[in-house]
Amino acid sequence: MDKVMDFLTGKKVAILGFGKEGKSTFNYIRKHNPNFRLFVLDRNENLIEENEFLRGDILTKVYTGYSYLDTLKNYDVIIKTPGISLVNVDTSRYEDKITSQIEIVLECFRDQIIGITGTKGKSTTSSVLYKVFKDQNVDTLLLGNIGTPVFDYLDDIKYNTKVIIEMSSHQLEYIKTSPHIGIILNLFEDHLDHSGSIEHYYESKMKMFEYQSRIDYSIYCEDNQALDNLVRSKKRDSQLIRYKFATGKQDYNTIYCDGNYIYCKNKPVYDVNSDRKLIGNHNLSNIMAIFAVVNLLGLNNKEAGKSIDEFVPLEHRLELVGMYDGVTYYNDSIATIPNATINAIESLGIVNTLIFGGMDRGIHYEEFVEYLKNCNIENLICMPDTGYKIGAQILNKNVYKAENLEQAVNIAKQVTKKGMICLLSPAASSYNQFKNFEEKGKCYKELVRK
């Protein structure tokens, strides 16, 4: 019997949330033990109608509707889907029973796992590290928040497999085991609609390091003040590896960039002026984290640098859409917080028009307003809801209001100067008008290309 089923056998197991990951959990358990008794809890009252296989499964009991959480106290193990927030639910009686795919895999394979989190940059960093590993013939898997439920590939994990798992705050929230190598890229205000407070959000992220031991490694960006303060505020048993922008020799275990090279153990390992496609200092910061892992595992620095230079940015992340009528259009719909939008603007340099705004999740925008007032962007195209609120505070720019993305692109076509850039970078989530940032980005690209 495999490690995961061995962990679950003999326990009363509930699957909380039946989206992509919940179905993945269900399918894995059914594949390895067709006779396993299961309970599915989901708010969607049409769940059985939408999943006919549940109707004929006499070994699965389904609870739906507004009272779908009422039976939580009855189970030994509650495998929670990350998207379900319990921040307003009293979980004190059964919090120790709440787990997840990520937690179970950590319990079973922690020594092989490299966990990567951060408010921004985790998908790109995870994907680049995966390419570095594959290019050096390391048996590896890339799983987690990147879009691949970890249970879908459990059967592919061998004794020598390195498992890179991108972890969101939702996935880290209830874990009680941390990975052998944990990376936190940065911390910014985000996901307050799920976490309830910035303190709880940061606390969830810090779970990446919390349960590590003295044989484990905690890699983090010292330049990020909030993250550095949290790491220094608590004594940790793990081995800390810091990275940052700096000049002159640093501590032996500090990875640093002096503007020309990235250094590991005070030796240059990467020329930052190489022809890489990952532009901007925010990407350079994340590249330092990658070299921290490369050196920990004894991989080839030169080959790693080559892999980094060859990496093509992921869709919706400072993605070049094309040049039309002399204007270059970029899609950065992944930028759902102000800091990410600022990074995009600084990386591109000649942004003439910014399209921004989205759902209001209670994030503070005061610093972003001041940045927009003082930057070189001439045209601000504001979309509901946050765009309208921010635009109303800016009087020294050309401020336009657009009800939807089509209007925004039409305005951008009229006002953006030739030879310059129009950038979509919302600084807010897209849920008020789109299913997710991917849908918004795809819509933008289609509109631009028309």
Which residues neighbour 300 within 8 Å (Cβ) at sequence distance 6 or greater? 136, 294
Distances (CA, A) of 300 to 96, 304, 305, 364, 424: 42, 6, 9, 43, 37
Final residue of a structural domain among 99, 117, 144: 99
Residue 188: CATH number of its domain: 3.40.1190.10
304 and 348 share one domain:
no
Element at 322 (helix H, strand E) = strand 319-324
Q: What pLDDT is recorded for position 192? A: 54
Same domain, 373 and 437: yes
Q: Please, which residues bridge with residue 78 across strands?
A: 14, 98
pLDDT digits (tens, 9 = 90+) for 245-297: 999 999 999 999 999 999 999 999 999 999 999 999 999 999 999 999 999 99
193: confidence class by pLDDT, cuts 50, 70, 90 = low
Q: For 291-316, write each residue's pLDDT tens digit.
A: 999 999 999 999 999 999 999 999 99
The sign of the torsion formed by the CA atoms of 87, 336, 341, 186 equals: positive
Residue 106, pLDDT > 80, answer: yes
Query: Given the structure tokens 């204007």, which residue do they identify?
Result: 327
What's the pLDDT at 1?
Answer: 43
Percent of the chain with pLDDT over 70: 98
| Same domain, yes or no: 144 and 190 | yes
- Amino acid 196: pLDDT: 55
Name the residue range of residue 50's domain.
3-99
Q: Give residue 146's pLDDT.
A: 84
* Sequence-ordered list of residues with C-beta below 8 angstroms from that of 56, at least 6 positions apart, any chain: none
Average pLDDT over residues 98-119: 95
**Which of 53, 74, 99 is where one domain is finished?**
99
- Express each pLDDT in 363-400 by its tens digit: 889 999 999 999 999 999 999 999 999 999 999 999 99
Task: Kindly give the pairing relationship between strand 181-184 and strand 13-16.
Answer: unpaired
One domain, residues 178 and 285: yes
pLDDT, the chain, mean: 94
The confidence score (pLDDT) of residue 185 equals 98
Q: What is the pLDDT of residues 150-179, one digit of tens each?
A: 999 999 999 999 999 999 988 898 899 999
What is the tally of helices (H) and strands (E) in the chain? 18, 20
Instruction: Using the predicted structure, report yes or no on whether residue 191 has a pLDDT greater than 80.
Output: no
pLDDT above 50: residue 194 = no
Above 80 in pLDDT, residue 6? yes
CATH number for the domain harbouring residue 62: 3.40.50.720
Q: Where are the alpha helices (DSSP H) in 110-263?
A: 122-135, 169-172, 192-195, 198-205, 207-210, 225-232
Q: Say yes or no: 173 and 284 in one domain.
A: yes
HEC secondary structure over 149-165:
CHHHHHHHCCCCCEEEE
pLDDT at 220 over 90: yes
Confidence band, pLDDT 50/70/90 cuts, at residue 197: confident
Backbone angles phi and psi of 425, in degrees to 5: -150, 95
Same domain, 283 and 138: yes
